[in-house]
């Protein structure tokens, strides 16, 4: 690849003479010179040295009598006539110096990366590691704000692990605020880096965090009309994130281990431990953003008869099939919990009581539409009783919300079964829906 030399000077003969003497080099005397690693500053343009020009690493300062007062790193002072007598020799030397400076910079980055990795491997706080990684990426880019979204198997979506972006808002989306097209561009770029400078009100840089074939996270950095980063920044970010991949993998494995501890062994639905922590998080999130959410309690009707007639193994297989049908009837962001025995709970983020009623009836129909084939010669027909409570309509605390949904479910169980009931608001009873 031909290296371009930036020229700062007002004399017409400099570029002409250099092109004649050095046909293997390219020379830029316009605005593109600001991006050149090697520049030649003619004797009439020493004024640009008050702030070193552009992104230059090596500057050849030509003098024809007057020498600049102060020498800076990367500057070589030459007699103009001597330089023009054999410019190719000096340009080759400058190129070697630029390569050495780039190599030294890469080595320094590698040393810093290894030092950081050593420190982060000793950290046990995933949020502290996420902050360290995000801040390092922002430092490379020279940009102030960013968010690291990490995949949380417990929630089955990407959540904020660290953010210093004052404009970031939690939306409950699978990958909040990251356009799928931009993410795909980043994944296929070879550098895991893509930028959108055109989207109104939403320009951003996206950097996927991938370990082997797992997309474990995404760093999202907002851009403003004034945002700038160097041409070398994407490659530096890619190198840095590749170096810290093992740390990211450790965080992911820790998260996955936590997820296993939150799952019911039999049905693979979430367990009671998950329910207790997640419901508190959902209440806090809804309180902060002024949104609603609902929970559905459901208890299988007459599962005891299945256990008594076919045995507990068949009863367990029935529970597994029930969980599959519930999961197939709800959204990805909805959380299905085995609350205990034959009782399940569905947590529905950003869902009011009327929408929850539609979901409950959809689950009810999915369960009762066809028999459960739990063995070659065994078909089980099972129904359930449902109770709904919505935050903050029916309750504003976890305990009261659970109590309201549970009471609504037991009212159905004590009457029609195979139906959906709604929690009571201000002593006004809502009628039970019919099949």
- Residue-level pLDDT at 59: 92
Mean pLDDT of 357-385: 89
Place of tokens 């296993």: 260
Q: Where in the chain is the domain with CATH 3.30.70.270?
A: 262-422
- Residue-level pLDDT at 146: 94
Share of the chain above pLDDT 70, in %: 88
Tell me which residue of 276, 278, 431, 269 sits closest to 357, measured CA to CA: 431
Name the packing angle between helices 245-261 and 233-243 (round to 10°).
Answer: 50
Q: Phi-psi category of 351—alpha, beta or left, where left has phi over 0 and alpha has psi -120 to 50?
A: beta
> With 0-12 CB in 10 A as exposed, 13-18 as middle and 19+ as buried, what is 213?
exposed
Q: Which two tokens stand for residue 422?
A: 């709604």
Question: Does the domain formed by 262-422 have CATH 3.30.70.270?
Answer: yes
Per-residue pLDDT tens for 258-301?
666 788 888 888 998 889 888 998 999 899 888 999 999 999 99
| Phi and psi torsions of 299, nearest 5° | -125, 130
| Phi and psi torsions of 334, nearest 5° | -80, 145
Mean confidence (pLDDT) of the chain: 85
Q: Which two tokens stand for residue 175?
A: 């990958």
pLDDT of residue 435 exceeding 60:
no
**Buried/exposed 287-296: b ≥16 CB within 10 Å, e otherwise:** eeeebbbbbb
| Residue 127: alpha-carbon gap to chain centroid | 13
Per-residue pLDDT tens for 53-107?
777 889 999 998 777 777 888 899 999 999 999 999 999 999 998 888 877 776 6
- Residue 124 CA to residue 251 CA, distance in Å, equals 9
The top-scoring range by mean pLDDT among 125-134, 162-171, 243-252, 286-295 is 286-295
| Phi and psi torsions of 53, nearest 5° | -65, 130
**CATH superfamily, with its number, for domain 123-259:** GAF domain (3.30.450.40)
- Residue 15 CA to residue 369 CA, distance in Å, equals 83
Q: How many CA atoms lie within 13 A of 18 on its CB side?
A: 26
Mean pLDDT of 134-141: 90
Per-residue pLDDT tens for 144-165?
999 999 887 666 778 888 899 9
- Residue-level pLDDT at 165: 92
Which is higher by pLDDT, 127 or 206? 206
| Residue 7: other Cβ atoms inside 10 A | 20
Tell me which residue of 89, 35, 78 sits closest to 57, measured CA to CA: 35
Pairing type for strands 343-349 and 293-301 reads: antiparallel
Q: Where in the chain is the domain with CATH 3.40.50.2300?
A: 4-101
Name the packing angle between helices 87-121 and 126-141 (round to 10°).
Answer: 170
Q: Where in the chain is the domain with CATH 3.30.450.40?
A: 123-259
If you count them, how many residues does the chain have? 435
Mean pLDDT of 387-411: 95
CATH code linked to domain 4-101: 3.40.50.2300
**Buried/exposed 267-280: b ≥16 CB within 10 Å, e otherwise:** bebbbeebbeebbe
Q: How many CA atoms lie within 13 A of 150 on its CB side?
A: 23
- Residue 170 CA to residue 165 CA, distance in Å, equals 12
DSSP codes, 300-369: EETHHHHHHHH-HHHHHHHHHHHHHHHHHTS-TTSEEEEEETTEEEEEEET--HHHHHHHHHHHHHHHHS
Q: For the whole model, what pTM was predicted?
A: 0.48
pLDDT of residue 434 exceeding 50:
no
Q: Which two tokens stand for residue 337?
A: 């919990």
Q: Cβ distance 336 to 269 under 8 Å?
A: yes
Place of tokens 């600049």: 68
Per-residue pLDDT tens for 165-200?
988 877 777 888 888 889 889 888 888 899 987 765
């Amino acid at each position: 690849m031909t290296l371009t030399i930036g020229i700062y000077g007002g004399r017409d003969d400099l570029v002409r003479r250099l092109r004649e003497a050095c046909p293997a080099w390219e020379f830029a005397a316009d605005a593109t010179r600001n991006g050149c690693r090697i520049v030649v500053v003619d004797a009439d343009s020493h004024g640009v040295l008050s702030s070193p020009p552009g992104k230059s690493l090596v500057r050849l300062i030509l003098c024809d009598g007057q020498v600049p007062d102060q020498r800076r790193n990367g500057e070589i002072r030459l007699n103009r006539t001597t330089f023009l007598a054999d410019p190719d020799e000096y340009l080759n030397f400058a190129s070697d110096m630029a390569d050495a400076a780039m190599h030294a910079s890469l080595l320094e980055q590698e040393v810093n990366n290894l030092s950081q990795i050593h420190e982060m491997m000793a950290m046990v706080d995933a949020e502290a590691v996420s902050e360290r990684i995000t801040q390092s990426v922002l430092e490379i880019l020279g940009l102030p704000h960013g968010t690291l979204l990490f995949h949380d198997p417990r929630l089955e979506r990407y959540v904020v692990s660290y953010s210093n972006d004052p404009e970031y808002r939690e939306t409950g989306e699978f990958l909040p605020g990251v356009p799928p097209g931009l993410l795909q561009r980043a994944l296929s770029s070879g550098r895991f880096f893509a930028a959108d400078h055109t989207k109104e009100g939403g320009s951003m840089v996206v950097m996927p965090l991938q370990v082997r074939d797992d997309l474990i996270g995404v760093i999202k950095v907002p851009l403003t009309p004034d945002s700038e980063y160097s041409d070398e920044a994407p490659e530096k970010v890619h190198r840095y994130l590749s170096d810290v991949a093992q740390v990211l993998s450790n965080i992911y494995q820790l998260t996955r281990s936590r997820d296993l501890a939150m799952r019911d062994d039999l049905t693979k639905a979430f367990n009671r431990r998950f329910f207790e922590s997640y419901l508190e998080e959902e209440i806090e999130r809804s309180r902060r953003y002024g949104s609603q959410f609902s929970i559905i309690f459901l208890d299988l009707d007459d599962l005891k008869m299945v256990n008594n007639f076919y045995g507990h193994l068949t009863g367990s297989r029935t529970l597994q099939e029930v969980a599959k049908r519930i999961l197939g009837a709800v959204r990805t962001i909805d959380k299905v919990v085995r609350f205990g025995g034959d009782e399940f709970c569905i947590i529905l983020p950003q869902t009011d009581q009327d929408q929850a009623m539609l979901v409950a009836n959809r689950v009810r129909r999915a369960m009762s539409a066809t028999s459960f084939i739990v063995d070659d010669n065994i078909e089980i027909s099972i129904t359930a009783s449902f109770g709904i409570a919505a935050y903050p309509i029916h309750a504003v605390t976890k305990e009261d919300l659970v109590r309201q949904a549970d009471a609504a479910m037991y009212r159905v169980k004590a009457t029609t079964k195979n139906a959906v009931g709604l929690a009571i608001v201000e002593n006004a009873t809502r009628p039970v829906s019919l099949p």
